[in-house]
Every structure is written in C-alpha cells, then in structure tokens.
A and B are shown apart, each in its own frame.
Chain A
C-alpha cells in the first residue's frame, strides 16, 4: 500500500475538560480531495486545524496521538513554520490582510525568504492564475485587497495559500460565506487543484462533498462514524447514523 500523505493515529483532543475528538484514526491520500462532514460541533474543524497545528493557538488545548505528514511526525519532528508552509490553510471567511493584493500574495514567499522582485512578480501571477482570479485582479494588484468581492477575496486567499508552494491545502468551510456562483467557482478550482495538491475540506454542504470529494469522513460527537469513498458514503453507507445524517433526519 502507498504511504498516505497525512495520517492520524489514536488522536484525542481536549479543550480544557471538554473532549472534542475521540480516538481518531484517519489516512488521507495524496492528490485527492477528502471531505469532512457532520453537524456543528462534531469536531471536523477541530481535526482540520490539528493538521497544521492551528489548535496550538487555542488556550487549554491538549492533543495526544500521532500526526504524520509523509511519515514525519508534525508535532515532534518538524518546525511549526515548516509544517504550515507545507500544509496551507484557507479559512471560513476570507481573511486577506489590509494591504494590496500583490502584498497579500507575496506575504508568504517573503516570509520564507524570497526577496527578489522578479521572483515575487512571477509567483503572484502564477498563483493568481492558478486560483483563476488573475483576470479580475491583474489591473489592480497594487490596490487594497479588501476592495474585492467576497468570492474574489476567497480565491485570492487560495492564491495566497498556494504562493508558499504547499503540498496539502486545508479548507475550512471555504464557501459558507459565499453566494452560489462564487461557491461553484471555488469548487471548480478545488477540483482543478487536486491534480497537484492534496486537499482536505470541511463542509456543511453535503452536495458540495458529493460534487468534489473523492473520500468523505462523517463525524459525530468527536468521533469518525464512517470514512469511505464519497460515492459509497452517499449511496450505500454502512452505518445507520450516516444514513440518517445524509438523508437529513438530523444535523
């Protein structure tokens, strides 16, 4: 069997006394889209944030278990900055910095030591093209990024994440704040990016999971109830709870 890109073994996670994740085991394959679904508060975002250690920012958060990226333990063998360079993240709400579009995209590369203008120019153009937002931004690269629409901002956020050349892209409900047309654009983009990147996406929208993901994990009360091919999860789930959730009986 090929080594999974990301692997989680026996993970328990506590926020203070509250156990948010219980004995999670999961393998995420390379160059696939893996979707996390489940009702609010089921732990799907929490697990996502553990994959690039954003939970470290949460006070009173304790994590046990093994998280590996290409076989390396991300909590023990790796600098946190290196991990976050390799595992990028797109947030629920577009969170561009209050600076120009160009400076937003160049922020990551500059952080990792790229200073030459020619190199930065190239990265900015390539990643904006990759995120299919180049045509809308090419004439206003030096203007404030906050002047763009929500959907455009989210695609610029994706471009910004791609600019540090990550291997994995984590997306935390990236379309929940967007209109349907912007949502479709982001979904197309994710499908396109799958050729080069491993993508993990948290979504509240089950149609979205069926449209774009290869594998789906269904979370409930901090546990993974079922993890399988997306097609199977939605057509012929093994667990009763999964069936009830995907048919809209709760959640």
Chain B
C-alpha cells in the first residue's frame, strides 16, 4: 500500500515536466507545419508579383490592344511589333482540340472503369492509365515527332507539324487526369442511387447513364477543367510537334505556336522589351490559368453544397 502511494506520488511529481515538454514539442511542430504551409503560399505570391511587375509594364508600353490583338509578332524588326494574338489563338485551338479528343475518350474510359470493368481487369487496366501521368512530356514530344507527325504527313500532306498533331498528343496527355478524377467521382456516388434505379426496373446501363453519371457530374466537370489547365500549360511536347510559326492557323494542318512555346523558343536570346514582352506572354497564360482555377473552385464548391 505504502509502496503504491510512493509510486503514484513519484509519477505525479514527474508528470508536469513531461507534460510541459510534450506541450513545447507540440507547439514547435505546429509552427513547423505552419511554416511549410507558408512556403507554397509564399511561392504563389512571389510568382504573381514577379510576373505582373515584369510583364505589365511591357504590355502597357506596347499597348494592351496591340499586344493582345496584334497579329504580327516580329520582335527583331525595326520597328518591332509584339502582337501575340496568333499565339493566343494557337493555344486555344490546341487546347480545344485536346479536349475534343481527350474528353470523350477519357469519360467513356472512366465510366467503363468505374461501372463496367470486372474487378480483376481493373487491377490491370488502371495502373497503365495512371502511368500515362508519369511519362515526362519530352517523351510525349518524341513520340509525337517520331510517330504521329509522319502519320499526319502521310495521311493529309503538309509538314505534319500541325494543330491536329498537337491536339492528339495533348489529348493523350490529359487522359490520366480525366480518367483518374472521373473514376473517383463516379465511385463516390452512393450505391443507394444505383440500387434505387435498378429497383425501378432500369437496366445497369440506364442506371449508370441517367442516375450515377449525373450525380457525379461536378467531379467530372472538375476533372475536365484541370485537364484544360494541363493542356494549355504544356510546353515541351508541344514545341516539338507544333511547327511554331507565328501566324494564325487556318486549318487543322497548319503550323501553330502556343503561348508557352513562344516563351521557350525566344527566351534564350531575347533582350530589352522583347524579353519583357515574353514575360507579358506569361502573364496572359497566367491569367488563363487563374480563370480556370476560379472555374474549378466554383464547380467543386457547388459539389460541397450537394
């Protein structure tokens, strides 16, 4: 009995210090976590400041209208002209093409994977799709250059470096984003919806198409928006297969230059206003991405509200 009391007295005496030190550690860790969180936020802020501080004065100097809607990009001419309209159009065309190719394939794949694929097959099909996301973009570029460009050239003529080629490669590149997120969205739909539909006599296909798919639509839309972001921002693979001439493409087989391509191709030798105009091109791209993110947040918030 006495021994017991002694022991408990002992632990009681030790307790406060142990508590204090663990409390301290907790505080320190909390600070560390907070710091880590700050790093990414700070990075975004610094990038924003850099882009706008460097890019906006140049845009102002060139003139917003001349810069955004000018169709002539000849920075080495005297006088130089800095119209990035062909690149804006080029980026939009390529992204739209990628969406037209990637979204239908991606969505149908996702529906198959989530609702029709036998479990055993799923185990074999999903990893390769996810692997697509891990392939470096330079490899996609190579693939495009060595395989797709010659095919397009042989089939349709021209050089093969074209809007169509870029769209095909970007369409493949956005597949894992669309499939991965859409599969999760479809699988997150409560089974009770599905059961309710089949209990009314709906076939599996009808239940999936008319109840499960609509219930997952905000997640699916979010995946498409992310995919658009990926397509519009892609650089390396694109410049290898786009042809990169600074004129507005008038057909799917015309050469095209994107906003990202414009920056990469000329950054190494640009100076003065030319250099700043390239950063201005980056600002335009950045604004596109910000708008897409805004859309993404609107769509996903709507999902939370149910």
- Find out whether the CB atom of A99 lies under 8 angstroms from the CB atom of B198: no
B266 within 8 Å of A by Cβ? no
Q: Mark B281-306, 1 if CB is under 8 A from A, else 0.
A: 00000000000000000000000001
CB-CB under 8 A for A91 and B195, given A97-B215, A107-B210 = yes
A108 within 8 Å of B by Cβ? yes
B202 within 8 Å of A by Cβ? yes
Nearest to B306 among chain A residues (CB) is: A146
CB-CB under 8 A for A81 and B201, given A107-B210, A111-B206 = yes
- Find out whether the CB atom of B200 lies under 8 angstroms from the CB atom of A108: yes
Nearest to A92 among chain B residues (CB) is: B192
Tell me whether chain B's interface is mostly helix, strand or loop, or mixed. helix
- Find out whether the CB atom of B202 lies under 8 angstroms from the CB atom of A89: no
Q: List 28 A-B contacts (CB under 8 A).
A: A54-B198, A57-B195, A81-B201, A81-B203, A83-B201, A84-B198, A84-B200, A88-B199, A88-B200, A91-B192, A91-B195, A91-B199, A95-B190, A95-B192, A95-B193, A96-B196, A97-B196, A97-B215, A98-B193, A98-B306, A107-B197, A107-B200, A108-B200, A108-B201, A111-B197, A111-B206, A160-B196, A161-B199
Whole-angstrom distance from the CB of B210 to the nearest CB of chain A? 7
Nearest to A96 among chain B residues (CB) is: B196
B105 within 8 Å of A by Cβ? no
Per the bound structure, the CA–CA distance linking A107 and B214 in Å amounts to 13
Chain A residues near B168 (CB-CB < 8 A): none
Nearest to B193 among chain A residues (CB) is: A97
Chain A residues near B201 (CB-CB < 8 A): 81-85, 108, 111-112, 164
CB-CB under 8 A for A57 and B198, given A98-B214, A99-B214, A111-B206 = yes
Per the bound structure, the CA–CA distance linking A99 and B192 in Å amounts to 14
Q: Which of B191-223 contact A (CB under 8 A)?
A: 192-193, 195-203, 206, 210-211, 214-215
A52 within 8 Å of B by Cβ? yes
Per the bound structure, the CA–CA distance linking A17 and B106 in Å amounts to 39
Chain A residues near B196 (CB-CB < 8 A): 91, 95-97, 157, 160
Per the bound structure, the CA–CA distance linking A120 and B210 in Å amounts to 17
Chain A residues near B190 (CB-CB < 8 A): 95
CB-CB under 8 A for A84 and B206, given A95-B192, A97-B215 = no
Chain B residues near A52 (CB-CB < 8 A): 199
Most B C-beta atoms less than 10 A away, residue of A81, A88, A112: A81
Per the bound structure, the CA–CA distance linking A88 and B196 in Å amounts to 10
Q: Which of A60-93 contact B (CB under 8 A)?
A: 81-85, 88-89, 91, 93
- Find out whether the CB atom of B192 lies under 8 angstroms from the CB atom of A93: yes
Q: Mark A22-46, 1 if CB is under 8 A from B, else 0.
A: 0000000000000000000000000
